[in-house]
Chains A and B, each alone.
Chain A
Amino acid sequence: MNITEKILAAHLSDRQAGSGKKEVSAGELINARVDLVLANDITAPISITEFKKTGAKDVFDKNRIAFIPDHFAPQKDIKAAEQCKMLREFSREYGLGLYFEVGRMGVEHALLPEEGIVVPGDLVVGADSHTCTYGALGAFSTGVGSTDVAAAMATGECWFKVPESMKFIYYGKLNKWVSGKDLILHTIGDIGVDGALYRAMEFEGEVIRSLPMHSRLTMCNMAIEAGGKNGIIVPDEITEQYAKGRARREYTFYTSDEDAKYAEVKEYDCSSIPLTVSCPHLPSNTKPAAELSNVAIDQVVVGSCTNGRIEDMREAAEVIKGRKVNPNVRMIVIPATQKVYLQAVTEGLAEIFVNAEAVFSTPTCGPCLGGHMGVLAKGERAIATTNRNFVGRMGHPESEVYLSNPAVAAASAIKGRIATPEEVI
């Protein structure tokens, strides 16, 4: 079995495991136990309503359900405030141990790994498509709907179709400033937005083995943008270093067997992967950043569950340090969690951004989905370190979003057009 199959097999529901079933294979429909269930201020309200219809007297485990108001939080308007209130009240009523109020919260997929709430070997479902992020830790995690979450909250189980797996091998030497974001954008550009539909995307190769955790999280985060069910990386020393000291539960490292089955194998020579940008209106519409120097921009966003970690802040700060945001541009920097925020302040990154005349904001998903904190007007164009550039994603249906890594975003903020870090440093 490969790592995805092994984690699913290890979590087979008691009924199935009790019948002696120890293996799973692609295409099978199974019921599996979940280690963690999560939802946010947009998806949890439906989960709460549906949970109450199940007749369950209590949640399956009050310390395994995470409610994180992050999308329209801090509450952007009255309706959003009502939704956040539903999470707060439900969490109090049921004594949930993993409710994160504003001031303690962060963008869910940055917060949960950072806090050691998701650990290697976990099976996680979340009512948010970017739940696939935790594959970076060697966990099986996937986005589901609010009703799935409601059922999982009640029973501690979820139904799955065991996915076929695709293997992506990265070798060669990474070019300067190229990071996990470029690798995943390049990969999505190659296979398309449904290139891994229903499948697990297993990333490996010498480049992945030396890729730092924040870049691994970025790669797995965007598996959904290729239609993938989950992204996953077999845990190693880098995983151990990350999990050690922060994991709140015991964890298990699963690996893929030598004879594990893969529906397809893709190989990439990283020395030929340039700084990559996804052009409107699909993440698969990729071009080398260097070819887009005629694209003027109005806004830059650095942040999100994709690129809002401290390393992303450092990368953007390194490019913009001692320089100014172009007068025609608004730059919005959003650390993904309170910890990242504080660390950015302590390290002097916040000062660099403010001196560069950028906004340095409290954690929120905000502009990534056109919610608040940087919504685009008609005809405006942004370059963002976020994950989607669909029509209207960041605001007006006639606005445009380009996706990039933090260094390219920061360089673009200085130039007022899409630029590479080499152009400004």
Chain B
Amino acid sequence: MILKGKVWQFGDNVDTDAIIPARYLNTSDPKELARHIMEDADKEFPDKVSSGDIIVAGNNFGCGSSREHAPIAIKAAGLQAVIAKSFARIFYRNSFNIGLPIFESEEAAEKISAGDEIEIDADRGVIKNITKGEEYTAKPIPPFMQELISVGGLIEWTKAKIKKQEIERLRS
């Protein structure tokens, strides 16, 4: 999978209240959530962001609440991926569970600038900076998480597991 897009840059500790403020959590409609993406960090962001763009941030991206609305809003706003130095753990698992590609790379997060055009080879974990002519590597994704991605997220994975159990039950 190759993900190519323009970069929006954020700093350390981007919290889930910044990604999607709690005042909008009286809905879980992805389109509605996307309309408020990152608005407390940058009021114009929901209008500026275009489909295919990529977020690059510092440490502890997605800290705070467990709200899945955060990765859902990012995905629904058309953002293709997030690269960060590190991710808060619930955001990390939520992203894999719902199929938002995320990559941990200290090097990429440090060297990429806002507006750069980048290309991520998701399978190889290689991030190419087309604007600067540089290449960075992302931390390898654990095999189980790769499996989650390949089947299309946790629900698909669970569906397959339930089906398998059902077949086993019928056999016995």
The answer to whether the Cβ of A46 comes within 8 Å of any Cβ in the partner chain is yes
Indicate whether A141 reaches chain B with its CB closer than 8 angstroms.
no
Chain B, interface size category, equals 35 or more
Tell me if A392 is interfacial: C-beta within 8 Å of chain B: yes
State the CA gap A343–B83 with chains docked (Å).
49
Is B60 an interface residue, CB under 8 A from the partner? yes
Within 8 A of A (CB), among B138-156: 142, 144, 153-155
Interface size class of A (residues with CB under 8 A): 35 or more
Chain B residues with Cβ below 8 Å from A161 are: 142
Asked if A253 is at the interface (CB within 8 A of a chain B CB), the reply is no
B97 touches which one: A72, A148, A370 (CB < 8 A)? A148
A177 contacts B by Cβ under 8 Å: no
The distance in angstroms between the C-alpha atoms of A31 and B79, with both chains bound, is 31
**Given A53-B155, A151-B154, A129-B22 contact (CB < 8 Å):** no
Is B35 engaged at the interface, CB distance under 8 Å to the other chain?
A: no
Are the C-beta atoms of B90 and A43 separated by less than 8 Å? no
The CA of A127 and the CA of B23, in the complex, are separated in Å by 18
Enumerate B1-51 residues with CB–CB distance to A below 8 Å: 13, 15, 17-18, 21-23, 25-28, 39-41
Least distance between A185 CB and chain B CB atoms (Å): 16
User: How far, in angstroms, from A284 to B94 measured CA to CA in the complex?
Assistant: 24
Question: Nearest-CB distance from A331 to chain B (Å)?
Answer: 22
Q: Which of A80, A147, A197, A393 contacts B155 (CB 8 A)?
A: A147
How many Å lie between the Cα of A315 and that of B25 in the bound state? 32
A417 in contact (CB, < 8 A): no
A56-B162, A227-B63 known; A76-B26 Cβ under 8 A: yes
Contacts of B23 in A (CB 8 A): 370-371, 375, 395
Assess the B63–A127 pair: CB atoms within 8 A: no
Q: In angstroms, how far is the closest chain B Cβ from the Cβ of A342? A: 28
With a CB–CB cut-off of 8 A, which chain B residues contact A90?
none
Q: State which of B25, B28, B60, B93 has its C-beta within 8 Å of the C-beta of A193.
A: B60
In the bound complex, CA of A77 to CA of B27 (Å):
11
Q: A145-B66, A193-B13, A391-B18 are in contact. Are A55 and B60 (CB under 8 A)?
A: no
Question: Is B89 a contact partner of A397 (Cβ separation < 8 A)?
Answer: no
In contact, B65 and A77 (Cβ under 8 angstroms):
no
- The answer to whether B159 touches A147 (Cβ under 8 A) is no
Residues on A with C-beta less than 8 A from B17 are 369, 388, 390-393
B93 contacts A197, C-beta separation under 8 Å = no
Find out whether the CB atom of A45 lies under 8 angstroms from the CB atom of B28.
Answer: yes
Assess the A371–B22 pair: CB atoms within 8 A: yes
B90 touching A46, Cβ below 8 Å: no
B66, B90, B144, B153 — which one has the most chain A CB atoms within 10 A of its CB? B66
B-side contacts of A229, CB under 8 Å: 89
* A155 with B88, Cβ < 8 A, contacts A83-B26, A145-B94 known: no
Query: Is residue A251 contacting chain B, with contact meaning CB distance below 8 A?
Result: no
Find the A residue at minimum CB distance from B89: A198
B25 surroundings in chain A (CB, below 8 A): 42, 71-72, 369, 371
A146 to B25, CA, bound (A): 13
16 residue pairs bridging A and B, Cβ less than 8 Å apart: A55-B162, A55-B163, A77-B26, A79-B27, A80-B26, A145-B97, A154-B158, A154-B162, A194-B59, A194-B86, A194-B88, A197-B86, A197-B88, A227-B88, A370-B23, A391-B18
A-side residues, CB < 8 A to B, are 29, 42-43, 45-46, 49-50, 53-56, 71-72, 76-77, 79-80, 83, 126-129, 131, 143-148, 150-151, 154-155, 159, 161, 193-194, 197-198, 224, 227, 229, 282, 369-371, 375, 388, 390-393, 395, 397
